[in-house]
Chains A and B, each alone.
Chain A
């Protein structure tokens, strides 16, 4: 199918000099920015309106564990960019290695988040408004915050986690394709767009971590 585009592409009038796959991925990421804006923006607005429904940093959420998770995701961004640099240089072994590392780090991130969710839920911190009864990390009988806290937290981090999961699945696909020799120094658009998506997911987490866990 892409070969039908070939004649026009060779003589095309291109304003940007950015090939289709990359431009398409950037454009798609812009829509993702707006999606997370809707979710995070709503969180900010709801929090300003009902500050008593939210808790001080660290009282309910596990900041140290999540800080570690943030670090893990940042590491996976490095491994992703190393994979890209290696395929550009023709280093197939490096490409495969770093792709694997990225996929595995992504899975670790998800695993830690799953553990975090389980612990939080056991402490009464749930998204369902009726059942919200968060007593926080220190234990105790007092309910910290209110239903909006659980509602917004799980929605934002849950959708971020969904994006990470999709990214991990795509990374495994890239690994599979890399082992089949599909990426070369001259043709590796798939790795570049995989990288863009993965870095974007990391970027969103950087913002989310600060706003949700530290403020």
Chain B
């Protein structure tokens, strides 16, 4: 590994190595990108657990509703006696509470679990390490970004405890339901929802300014754009999407908050406002948001698959351009969430075409992943298992998107369980599997210890099987006409006939949830008792694997990595090992000019 001798600031060096930093500055109010990434991780894993619990309660109600006339006796909700009478009465939850569960499950999972797990954790942790920088461009702003997100999370949690309960107008907060407590029954909860998400938006914006500046300005010598790992590329495009989409949501949320509190009428039809304006603003953000939720996972999967297959990623340049294309086209597809909203049908035609087009770059990526594993010497370690199943499950999710993209076909499918199946295949089968792949892959680097492989594989197998058993049948339910956000499926005969499927799904969901406890156990146990990890346990190439596990403050101390090659030189002909770190000097060739 070649390093450059660099004149450095002795004072900073001394501080990094010798000065005793108090616990609070080191772990609580730290400006170190790695600590901040880990803080995001603990916060988001908590919210992931909470979001899952909410879903379990929902599934219980769906499977065991109380419907005397249709002959369904219901089952008391486990733990329901702990909840107040405004939520659960004699073991059966109230419809308003069910709506709150639906809303909060979606809101918490999207905004406080998946998004921070993909961006807050990994953009913070990986970007400086993968580009060879000692930290982010603006470390203090980075710290503020975490604490703002934390504060937003507290507000969201607080909304459960206020009069009227938590927001219940859906995670999409459609107006006028979300601005009129006469219809929703929830006043303060909806206000807190809008406020919390606005604050979270600020947090994300601060993060993205940091990530973009750092990526442009602080790459190590030799780290040209096309030597960046795909994780980094994905995080860059994701950060740009956040930068430009979140402010529009913020504007909309502020308008909503004013409608709720001051008495403005942006979205109130009775005084000339336009409810559909909210949908346009929300989805203008919301569609780039779903790419924010998948692109980083795609990046991680690319890196992990190349590593597991011991082969360069197939078509690296195409992969980069595909990510950029998805980022671009993602701005003009938002109306496909609104085909049935009453918007101008001509717009429906436009959005259908753009949505079908955006399937192409995703397909390119899929074929390139397949091309990567083709004839590879595959190591089926836990991260690889999650990464490979990501590809399969994301394909299924993508395929179910195609009928939804076709506006006429969307007519019967909109707001049914078909959509629920689609979103969970891409968000769980896609994003969450990508997150598990990333956590199991980078855990040794983060904590200096490896996670248990056996437990990892068991967790993967159970999650894979029960995820499919839970969500695949939902395609049938949706095609059969079962609506989303439905409190009591048995009230409609055409859905009551499918109730066995609903019960089956609930049991599988409960097992799926229980299987996550294996991951939790593995994670927590390995933090303290895992086998000590070396610098490069996966024999990977990118820069983070040249730093100690875990890296110190400043990552490489006074040695600045110098990059000589791309990140995918696995099984290169003539090389001594089947991998070559990016810092490995080329043999006998002149060093390329730095960019």
Contact in complex: A155, B137 (CB < 8 Å): no
The residue that A147 contacts in the complex, of B209, B223, B272, B281, with Cβ under 8 A, is B272
Chain B: interface size category: 35 or more
Interchain CB contact under 8 A, A8 and B220: yes
Bound complex: CA A8 to CA B208 (Å): 21
A23 touches B216 (CB 8 A): yes
Which residues of B have CB within 8 Å of A81?
none
A147 in contact with B271 (CB, 8 Å):
yes
Do A13 and B224 have beta carbons less than 8 Å apart? yes
Most buried by B among A46, A53, A147: A147
When the two chains form their complex, are residues B248 and A6 in contact, meaning their CB atoms are under 8 A apart? no
A28 within 8 A of B: yes
Q: How far, in whole Å, are A47 and B137 apart by their CA atoms in the complex?
A: 42
Q: Give Cα A188 to B409, complex, Å.
A: 59
The residue in chain A whose Cβ has the minimal distance to the Cβ of B250 is: A35
Q: Are A127 and B264 in contact (CB under 8 A)?
A: yes
Contact of A114 with B by CB under 8 A: no
Distance between Cα atoms of A9 and B137 in the complex (Å): 10
List B contacts of A155 (CB < 8 A).
254-255, 258, 264, 266
Given A10-B6, A35-B247, are A129 and B268 also a contact pair (CB < 8 Å)? yes
Q: Which of B238-246, B393-401, B417-425, B472-480 touches A? A: B238-246
Q: Name the segment of B7-15, B184-192, B302-310, B463-471 touching the other chain.
A: B7-15
B177 interface residue, CB < 8 Å from A? no
- Of the candidate stretches A37-45, A101-109, A165-173, A175-183, the one touching chain B is A37-45
Is B263's beta carbon under 8 Å from chain A? yes
Which residues A55-77 have CB closer than 8 A to chain B? none
A65-97, CB under 8 A of B: which get 1 and which 0? Answer: 000000000000000000000000000000000
Query: What separation, in Å, do the CA atoms of A11 and B222 have in the docked complex?
Result: 10
The contact string, 1 if C-beta is below 8 Å from chain A, for chain B 528-567, is 0000000000000000000000000110001010000000
A34, B265: Cβ atoms under 8 Å? Answer: no
Residue in chain A with minimal CB distance to B562? A11
CA distance A147 to B595 in the complex (A): 56
Give the tally of cross-chain contacts (CB within 8 A): 176
Contact A7 B8, beta carbon cutoff 8 Å: yes
Q: A42 near B251 (CB under 8 angstroms)? A: yes
CB proximity to A under 8 Å, residues B121-150: 132-135, 137-140
Q: Given A8-B218, A8-B220: A28 and B262 within 8 A (CB)?
A: no
In the complex, what distance in Å separates the CA atom of A19 from the CA atom of B595? 16
Contact of A27 among B213, B223, B271, B554 (CB under 8 A): B213
State the Cβ distance, B35 to closest chain A Cβ, in Å: 13
| A8 partner residues in chain B, CB cutoff 8 A | 132-134, 218, 220, 560
- Nearest CB of chain B from residue A115's CB, rounded to whole Å: 21
- Cβ of A138 within 8 Å of any chain B Cβ, yes or no, is no
Question: Binding site of A, secondary structure by majority: helix, strand, loop or mixed?
Answer: helix
State A213–B205 Cα separation when bound (angstroms). 31
Chain A contacts of B268 at CB under 8 A? 129
Asked if B264 contacts A129 (CB within 8 A), the reply is: yes
Cβ-defined contact, B6 with A11, below 8 A: yes
Which residues of chain A come closer than 8 Å to B586, judged between CB atoms? Answer: none
What string of 1s and 0s marks CB contacts (under 8 Å) between B174-201 and chain A?
A: 0000000000000000000000000000
Q: Please report the C-alpha to C-alpha distance between residue A209 and residue B391 in the assembled complex, in whole angstroms.
A: 51
CB neighbours (8 Å) of B252 from chain A are: 38, 42
Q: Give the docked Cα–Cα distance between A20 and B214 (Å).
A: 8
Known contacts A27-B209, A129-B268, A148-B272, A35 near B251 by CB under 8 Å? yes
Q: Is A24 an interface residue (CB 8 A)?
A: yes
Q: Which of A7, A151, A152 has the most CB of B within 10 A?
A: A7
Are B264 and A31 interface neighbours, CB within 8 A? no
Q: Which residues of A contact B8 (CB under 8 A)?
A: 6-7
The interface residues of chain A lying within 8 Å CB-to-CB of B245 are 34
Q: Which residues of B contact A19 (CB under 8 A)?
A: 217
Q: Is A14 an interface residue (CB 8 A)?
A: yes
Within 8 A of A (CB), among B568-595: 594-595
> Shortest distance in angstroms between B146's beta carbon and chain A's nearest beta carbon?
16
A123 contacts B by Cβ under 8 Å: no
* Pair A30/B223 contact, Cβ less than 8 Å: no
Contact yes or no, B247 A38, CB < 8 A: yes
A28: B residues at CB distance < 8 A: 205, 209
Q: Which chain B residue shows the least CB distance to A25?
A: B209
Q: Which of A20, A31, A42, A129 contacts B205 (CB 8 A)?
A: A31
- Complex Cα spacing A28 to B208, Å: 9
What residue of chain A has the Cβ atom nearest to residue B270's Cβ?
A129
Q: Which 9 A-B pairs have the closest CB atoms?
A: A38-B251, A35-B247, A128-B263, A129-B265, A151-B264, A34-B247, A3-B12, A38-B248, A13-B219
- Given A5-B137, A13-B219, A20-B137, 19 other A-B contacts at CB below 8 A? A4-B553, A6-B12, A8-B132, A9-B218, A11-B4, A12-B133, A12-B218, A23-B217, A24-B210, A31-B246, A34-B243, A37-B248, A37-B251, A38-B251, A42-B281, A46-B274, A147-B265, A150-B264, A155-B264
Q: List 19 A-B contacts (CB under 8 A).
A: A1-B135, A1-B140, A3-B12, A5-B135, A8-B560, A14-B219, A15-B595, A16-B216, A20-B137, A20-B218, A23-B217, A24-B210, A27-B212, A27-B213, A34-B247, A35-B250, A151-B264, A152-B266, A159-B254
